Chains A and B, each alone.
Chain A
Amino acid sequence: DQQVKQNSPSLSVQEGRISILNCDYTNSMFDYFLWYKKYPAEGPTFLISISSIKDKNEDGRFTVFLNKSAKHLSLHIVPSQPGDSAVYFCAASELNEKLTFGTGTRLTIIP
């Protein structure tokens, strides 16, 4: 039972344009959502997060949107840069315990 789903295994975006990565979840008890970025042979790196009481959180080029009624969140990166090429994982937490991850989306930024 996949509680966190990332339905796009890969995404290619032109440098300078907006990258939009999507994530859906099924567990309504999740109260905190995070995005992690992963380069090959490295551990996931925390990127940005959002509490379930908010619908938007912004940090520089990165914005996360949460739609609780649709159980959907998205990560927007604008403008996209070549260094953003990586695998992005969506994760969710219930009562600040273990993280439940999606399967990841490989983002490729085309120069």
Chain B
Amino acid sequence: GAGVSQSPRYKVAKRGQDVALRCDPISGHVSLFWYQQALGQGPEFLTYFQNEAQLDKSGLPSDRFFAERPEGSVSTLKIQRTQQEDSAVYLCASSYSLGAYEQYFGPGTRLTVT
């Protein structure tokens, strides 16, 4: 079956612009996670959802970051007034349920803020 997909794959934004990153999880997967990966680092947790409920947003770096999953499937990560330090790869992952440890990742969106 289809894996996790993310769009766009690449995004260049001028500092101060708003961006929206989309994630389509594997069909039927209940849990959805967002991670941020800076160059040369491992992915770092941002937030996660079980169905449409956002259960943990402790990793969001500032109130400029906002995530939603209104119908419990597709999710959008929005970054307002982008800053240069927001430049990173944003990874989305899904898992079958909150009881499943293995998370399956999409290809990521590389965001470059100029």
Contact status B101-A42, CB under 8 Å: no
Kindly state the separation between the CA atoms of A32 and B44 in the bound complex, as whole angstroms. Answer: 17
User: B56–A97 contact, CB under 8 A?
Assistant: yes
Q: Which one of A53-61, A64-72, A77-85, A99-107 is at the B interface?
A: A99-107
Q: How far is the CA of A104 from the CA of B44 in the complex (A)?
A: 12
Closest to A90 in B: B42
Nearest B residue to A46 by beta-carbon distance? B102
Q: Which residues of B contact A49 (CB under 8 A)?
A: 101-102
CB distance from A53 to the nearest CB of B (A): 13
> Most chain-B CB neighbours within 10 Å: which of A42, A45, A98?
A98
Closest to A100 in B: B45
Instruction: Tell which of A32, A44, A104 touches B105, judged by Cβ atoms closer than 8 Å.
Output: A44
Question: Could you tell me how many residues of chain A have their Cβ less than 8 Å away from some Cβ of chain B?
Answer: 23
Q: Inside 8 A of B56's CB, which chain A residues have their CB?
A: 97-98
* Cα distance, A99 to B42, chains bound together (Å): 11
CB distance from B22 to the nearest CB of A (A): 14
Q: In the complex, how many angstroms separate the beta carbon of B21 from the nearest chain A beta carbon?
A: 13
- Contacting residue for A34 out of B35, B40, B101, CB 8 A: B101
Residues of B within 8 A of A91 (CB): 42
Distance (Å) between the CB of A23 and the closest chain B CB? 11
B interface residues (Cβ-Cβ under 8 A, vs A): 4, 33, 35, 40-45, 48, 56, 59, 91, 93, 98-108
